Amino acid sequence: MPNDFSFQEGDRYQWERFISAEDVKRFAEVVGDLNPIHLDAEFAEKSFFKKRIVHGAFLGGLISKVLGMDFPGQGTVYLSQNSAFKRPVYVGTTVTVEVKVTQVIVEKRRLVLETNVLNENNEICLTGSATVWLPE
């Protein structure tokens, strides 16, 4: 990560990711959340959602990936995150993670970021904000 701290309010970053059934299965196995709404098509068909949905924590993990690897980038330390789920993300779809700088705290090398995950119809599925620190 570069030592400069040249972020501005309004700076943005987007990243797309296809979420496969295998991705969801592996995530479920790693974290131990084997809820059938995520893994069992027959169970999900009888649910409110009618199809398998992606774990909310999986979506949060995609935000973490962007913050720690892409924008602001490697070395970023996640200090806080708040999130609200607006609609489901279905297994087998592509999502877009959007990050926007809403506040720059230069003296503490911190950023406050708007964080969103959108579905293929450009609808917000997860919205929130994060605070991160960029060490020198």
Query: Model pTM?
Result: 0.93
Give the per-residue pLDDT at 54: 98
3-state secondary structure of 81: strand
Give the per-residue pLDDT at 1: 43
- Measured over the CA atoms of residue 1, residue 132, residue 20 and residue 18, the dihedral's sign is negative
Predicted confidence pLDDT, tens digits, the chain (136 residues): 446 789 999 999 999 999 999 999 999 999 999 999 999 999 999 999 999 999 999 999 999 999 999 999 999 999 999 999 999 999 999 999 999 999 999 999 999 999 999 999 999 999 999 999 999 8
Alpha-carbon distance of 73 to 5, in angstroms, equals: 12
